[in-house]
Amino acid sequence: LNADYTLNRKIFLNAGVSAGRNKFLNDVADRHDTFFGWDTGIRYQMNEHFQMGASFSYVKNWSSLNYADFDNKGFSLDISTRY
Protein backbone atom coordinates (compact mmCIF):
# COMPACT_ATOMS: atom_id res chain seq x y z
CA LEU A 1 0.00 0.00 0.00
CA ASN A 2 1.57 3.29 -1.11
CA ALA A 3 0.62 6.94 -0.87
CA ASP A 4 2.03 9.96 -2.70
CA TYR A 5 1.48 13.56 -1.71
CA THR A 6 2.44 16.73 -3.55
CA LEU A 7 3.34 19.33 -0.96
CA ASN A 8 3.87 22.01 -3.61
CA ARG A 9 5.03 22.05 -7.23
CA LYS A 10 8.62 21.22 -6.20
CA ILE A 11 8.34 18.91 -3.17
CA PHE A 12 6.81 15.43 -3.28
CA LEU A 13 6.36 13.03 -0.36
CA ASN A 14 5.66 9.30 -0.37
CA ALA A 15 5.11 6.52 2.15
CA GLY A 16 4.21 2.87 2.02
CA VAL A 17 3.65 -0.28 4.05
CA SER A 18 3.93 -3.93 3.08
CA ALA A 19 3.31 -7.29 4.70
CA GLY A 20 3.26 -10.87 3.59
CA ARG A 21 4.12 -14.49 4.12
CA ASN A 22 6.67 -16.61 2.24
CA LYS A 23 6.63 -20.41 2.10
CA PHE A 24 9.87 -21.97 0.92
CA LEU A 25 9.45 -24.95 -1.40
CA ASN A 26 11.69 -28.03 -1.07
CA ASP A 27 12.96 -26.87 2.30
CA VAL A 28 13.48 -29.80 4.69
CA ALA A 29 12.79 -27.56 7.71
CA ASP A 30 9.35 -26.53 6.39
CA ARG A 31 10.39 -22.88 6.53
CA HIS A 32 7.85 -20.10 6.30
CA ASP A 33 8.50 -16.41 6.97
CA THR A 34 6.26 -13.47 7.78
CA PHE A 35 7.41 -9.94 7.04
CA PHE A 36 6.31 -6.37 7.64
CA GLY A 37 7.89 -3.27 6.13
CA TRP A 38 7.46 0.43 5.69
CA ASP A 39 9.17 3.16 3.70
CA THR A 40 9.08 6.91 3.33
CA GLY A 41 10.70 9.41 1.03
CA ILE A 42 10.92 12.95 -0.22
CA ARG A 43 11.77 14.31 -3.67
CA TYR A 44 12.69 17.86 -4.61
CA GLN A 45 12.35 18.91 -8.24
CA MET A 46 14.48 22.00 -8.81
CA ASN A 47 13.37 22.36 -12.43
CA GLU A 48 12.33 20.10 -15.32
CA HIS A 49 15.95 18.94 -15.75
CA PHE A 50 17.16 18.32 -12.18
CA GLN A 51 15.74 16.52 -9.15
CA MET A 52 17.02 14.93 -5.95
CA GLY A 53 15.50 12.72 -3.31
CA ALA A 54 16.02 10.72 -0.15
CA SER A 55 14.26 7.63 1.17
CA PHE A 56 14.32 5.27 4.14
CA SER A 57 12.98 1.72 4.33
CA TYR A 58 12.60 -0.84 7.10
CA VAL A 59 11.68 -4.55 6.92
CA LYS A 60 11.21 -6.95 9.82
CA ASN A 61 11.20 -10.69 9.02
CA TRP A 62 10.04 -13.42 11.39
CA SER A 63 10.90 -16.96 10.35
CA SER A 64 9.96 -20.43 11.54
CA LEU A 65 13.75 -20.97 11.72
CA ASN A 66 15.26 -19.07 14.65
CA TYR A 67 18.44 -18.11 12.80
CA ALA A 68 16.50 -16.58 9.87
CA ASP A 69 14.85 -13.68 11.73
CA PHE A 70 16.22 -10.29 10.69
CA ASP A 71 15.71 -6.53 10.49
CA ASN A 72 16.73 -4.65 7.36
CA LYS A 73 17.09 -0.87 7.23
CA GLY A 74 18.07 1.13 4.16
CA PHE A 75 18.69 4.75 3.34
CA SER A 76 19.25 6.16 -0.12
CA LEU A 77 20.03 9.50 -1.71
CA ASP A 78 19.60 10.09 -5.40
CA ILE A 79 20.27 12.89 -7.85
CA SER A 80 19.05 12.78 -11.43
CA THR A 81 19.16 14.99 -14.45
CA ARG A 82 17.37 14.84 -17.78
CA TYR A 83 18.01 16.79 -20.96
66, pLDDT greater than 90:
no
Query: Is residue 4 within 8 Å of 13, Cβ to Cβ?
Result: yes
Count CB-CB contacts under 10 A for residue 21.
9
26, pLDDT greater than 80:
no
pTM over 0.75: yes
CA distances from 11 to 44, 46, 68, 74, 83 (A): 5, 9, 39, 22, 20
35-61: average pLDDT = 97
What is the rounded average pLDDT for all residues in the chain? 94
What is the pLDDT at residue 27? 66
Name the band, by pLDDT with cuts 50, 70 and 90, for residue 73.
very high
